[in-house]
Amino acid sequence: MEIKKFEVLPRHIGFIMDGNGRWAKNQGLKRGEGHIAGAKVFKKIGEYCADLGIECVTFYAFSTENWSRPQEEVNGLMDLFIEYLIDGDARLEENKERQMKLKFIGEREGLPEELLELIEKAENETKDYNKITVNIALNYGGRAEIVHAANTLVEKGLPITEENLSRAMYTADMPDPDLIIRTGGDFRISNFLLWQSAYSEFVITDTLW
Ligand code: FPP
Does the annotation mark 18 as catalytic? yes
pLDDT along the chain (209 residues), means of 10: 85 98 97 96 95 97 97 96 80 84 96 95 93 97 98 98 98 97 98 98 98
Distance of CA 196 to the CA centre of its chain: 14
Cα–Cα distances in angstroms (integers) from residue 151 to residues 21, 154, 157, 172, in the given order: 36, 5, 10, 15
pLDDT of residue 86: 83
89 given a catalytic annotation: no
Ligand 1 within 6 A of 20 CB?
Answer: yes
Helices (H), the chain: 20-26, 31-52, 71-86, 88-98, 113-126, 142-156, 162-168
Cα separation, 182 vs 62, whole angstroms: 14
Best probe residue, ligand 1, of 18, 30, 75 (max atoms within 8 Å of C-beta): 18
Q: How far does the centroid of ligand 1 lie from the alpha carbon of residue 156, in Å?
A: 36
What atom in ligand 1 is closest to the CA of residue 41?
Answer: 10
Residues with Cβ < 8 Å from 157, sequence gap 6 or more?
none
Supply the pLDDT for residue 89: 62
Task: Say what the pLDDT of residue 57 is.
Answer: 98
